Structure 1
Amino acid sequence: METLHGRVRIEWAVRSVITAVVLGGILFGLDRVAELGLGLAIPVALAVLIIAIGVGHAILLYRDWRFDLESDSLYLERGVITRVETAVPYVRVQHVDTQRGPIDRVLGLSRVVVYTAGSRGADVSVPGLTPERARRLRNELRDLAVESEPEDAV
């Protein structure tokens, strides 16, 4: 089983900080407009609470996030409160992308997104990989998907 790069914890924590700042700002703005009398302490306390929960979640999620290329499927284990185990059979893989958002680029990370037959969107995403590892994983998954295709009967 492979683990994610340790910098993914920073990405997840940064996302929590962004969420906290936005929600704290919205609450502060509502207080100013609606004159709720909350002051600055309540929005700041909410932001600090969100950041604390987000950082704790990032640490725990990183500890339990694993993936593996098995003989017939991509296998993933993840989750903090709810444990999720996913097996994506190679025969169901339609295409595989690598993605790098702004935070990923700053941290030198990438993610692999696997799209499967019969789905409306990405079924599986493997975050927190170095760009080189993401490219290798994408190519490995592509090759395994091609190898697993049933022979054409015609």
Structure 2
Amino acid sequence: MESLNSRVRLAWVVGALVPGAVILAIGVVAGRIGAPIPPTAAAGVAVVVVALGVAAAFVRYRVWRFEVRDDSLYLVRGVLTRVDTSVPYVRVQHVDTRRGPIERTLGLASVVVYTAGSRGADITIPGLTPARASDLRERLRELATESEFDAV
């Protein structure tokens, strides 16, 4: 099974910093307007939230794997709840690559697989190099097209 690019850990760590910064900002504002929340308490909560987010990013990276099989895309992911997903190519509607600002900065991309038949059934494979994401997108498109012809 294939793992993600190690730089995805940094993207996930940055994602963990955002809620910590929001909690800290709320604590500072609350302290300035005289709320009974001491700014040091907010800072402590922010540190705990960031520390948990950083730890989760590293564990998440160790678990996240995917494999392009003959008949389906197989994914393993999840920190507290392990999720194994098999997406048959015949269910694939279309495949995109996506690069947000953090991903672009880190030289990463994600592949998004849209499936038929149920809402919220989109699968995202994060933490790929742009070249690997493009190759994977094209391979999944080919496999989806082949499976469509095989089903007829």
TM-score normalised according to structure 2 size: 0.93
Contact 2:23 2:43 in 1 (8 A): no
Aligned partners of 1:113 and 1:122 also within 8 Å: no
RMSD value, Cα:
1.6
* Structure 2 counterpart of 1:8: 8
Question: Is the alpha carbon distance of 1:116 and 1:152 closer, same or farther for their aligned partners in structure 2, counting shifts above 3 Å?
Answer: closer
**Is residue 136 from structure 1 mapped to residue 147 from structure 2 by the alignment?**
no
Cα deviation for residue 131 of structure 1 reads 0.3
| Partner Cα separation in structure 1 for residue 108 and residue 120 of structure 2 | 22
Question: C-alpha separation between the residues in 1 aligned to 2:89 and 2:23?
Answer: 40
SS in 2 for 1:57: helix
2:23 is the alignment partner of 1:63: no
Q: Cα distance 1:12–1:141, how it changes in 2: closer, same or farther (>3 A)?
A: same
Q: Distance in 1 between matches of 2:118 and 2:29?
A: 40
TM-score, normalization: structure 1? Answer: 0.92
**How many residues matched?**
152
Distance 1:152 1:46 in 2: 54
Q: Which residue of 2 aligns with 1:99?
A: 98
Cα separation, 2, equivalents of 1:107 and 1:19? 20
Deviations 1:26-81 (A, max 9, x none): 23323434x22323201111111111000000000000100000110000001111
Equivalent residue, structure 2, for 1:26? 26
Match of 2:109?
110
Distance 1:102 1:122, change over 3 A: farther
| Identity within the alignment, % | 53
- What SS does structure 2 have at the residue aligned with 1:77? strand
Structure 2 portions without partners, runs of 5+:
none
CA contact (8 A) 2:95 2:137 kept: yes
